[in-house]
Amino acid sequence: MTDNPWTAGRVLALPGHGPRLLFGRMYEDPRVEARAFPAAPARVLCVASAGDTAAALARAGYDVTAVDVNPVQLAYARARVDEGAPAAPGSAELMLAAARRATAAALPGWRAPALHEFLDLDDPCTQSRWWRTRLDGPGLRLLMGMALRPVGVLAAALAPGFRHVVPARFDTELRTRVARVVARHPNADNPLLAGLLAGRAPKPRAKAPDLPGTVRFVLGDVAEHLEAVPAGAYDAVTLSNVLDGPGPAYRRRLRTAVERAVRPGGTAVLRSVGGTGGTTAAVRAAEERCPLWGSLYVTTIGGTR
Ligand SMILES: C[S@@+](CC[C@H](N)C(=O)[O-])C[C@H]1O[C@@H](n2cnc3c(N)ncnc32)[C@H](O)[C@@H]1O
């Protein structure tokens, strides 16, 4: 499967070999699945990643299969879900922490306690005003431009297979997405925004024995797994990031595998960091409380919602 850069288990261009912990926490809003999925209990599949989505689905009573091609990530997710192991930083969190340090050093509005005051607001109008007047100024534009343009710091730090994933003007795009999130969702009820902007830790969670649903962990590629299970084995699947990197051949393969493995009338959710305003998937991404996503597809197998 040379078409898929996720198989290497590395997103950064660092020396060395072998898979690493990429995500110490997840940045997906589980309310999207809660709204889109058929009622629990149902057979659902997600990507294991840091385990948060799998745990949220099991907490809601689903029978969850969590698949990951990265053995380090799978072991980490399993330890968090089954044993309540604490969160640890992955490549994504190390990069975000460096970005937050640089931003706070340069821009006073981005330092505690002001930033925490912003993240504790619960009125989208006040939040939007605060974002426009105290956070999204020329200094932020300059820093984000240096970091997030296709020739910027992020693209240089990424492994070659992921460089093309950074949207053309990710700096302006991401600022627009944050503005969209704060204009719609109360910050005080948005741990995803607080995690991203301030690195606030997620709340500790119940361990597997205390969850109403179940989680089964599977090591492997998700398309391969979906091709191997009986047709209609799942009522719903949610796949984030899996098409951020692979080429069109993998995209076609995954689509065929999803349409076979999910029963007719079942649901497929797909998030991607790519995508810009205007498209239905971009508009739909506004349902998300996490601003990282540019596209959110919610598809009924046998018809599109
Ligand atoms: C689901 S995303 C991370 C989640 C998302 N960025 C978030 O934070 O909400 C990345 C994870 O998907 C896994 N992954 C990507 N493509 C995959 C594939 N084709 N099959 C199985 N796992 C995959 C990676 O190994 C990684 O652990």
Q: Is the beta carbon of 22 within 6 A of some atom in ligand 1? A: yes
Q: Where are the domains of the chain?
A: 19-87+204-304, 91-198
- DSSP tag of 268: E
Residue nearest to atom 17 of ligand 1 (CA): 242
Q: Which residue has the tokens 């889109």?
A: 36
What strand order describes the sheet that includes 63-68? 214-219, 63-68, 43-47, 234-240, 262-272, 295-300, 303-304
Strands (E), 202-281: 214-219, 234-240, 262-272
Nearest to 180 by CA among 143, 127, 142, 218: 127
Question: Binning pLDDT at 50, 70 and 90, where does residue 11 land?
Answer: confident
Instruction: Give the pLDDT score at 99.
Output: 94
Architecture in CATH of 19-87+204-304: 3-Layer(aba) Sandwich (3.40)
Instruction: Give the pLDDT score at 205.
Output: 67
Q: Is the beta carbon of 70 within 6 A of some atom in ligand 1? A: yes
Question: Binning pLDDT at 50, 70 and 90, where does residue 277 land?
Answer: low
Q: Is the beta carbon of 49 within 6 A of some atom in ligand 1? A: yes
Nearest ligand 1 atom to alpha carbon 223: 19
Read off the pLDDT of residues 189-248 as tens digits, 9 standing for 90 and up: 999 999 999 999 877 666 667 788 999 999 999 999 999 999 999 999 999 999 998 989
DSSP structure string for 79-123: HHHHH-PPP---HHHHHHHHHHHHHHHH-GGGSTTHHHHHHT---
Structure tokens, 78: 């399993």
Q: Is the beta carbon of 250 within 6 A of some atom in ligand 1? A: no
Read off the pLDDT of residues 77-101 as tens digits, 9 standing for 90 and up: 999 999 999 999 999 999 999 999 9
Read off the pLDDT of residues 96-117 as tens digits, 9 standing for 90 and up: 999 999 999 999 999 999 999 9
Q: Is residue 21 within 8 Å of 90, Cβ to Cβ? A: yes
pTM for this model (two decimals): 0.93
- How does the average pLDDT of the chain come out, rounded? 92
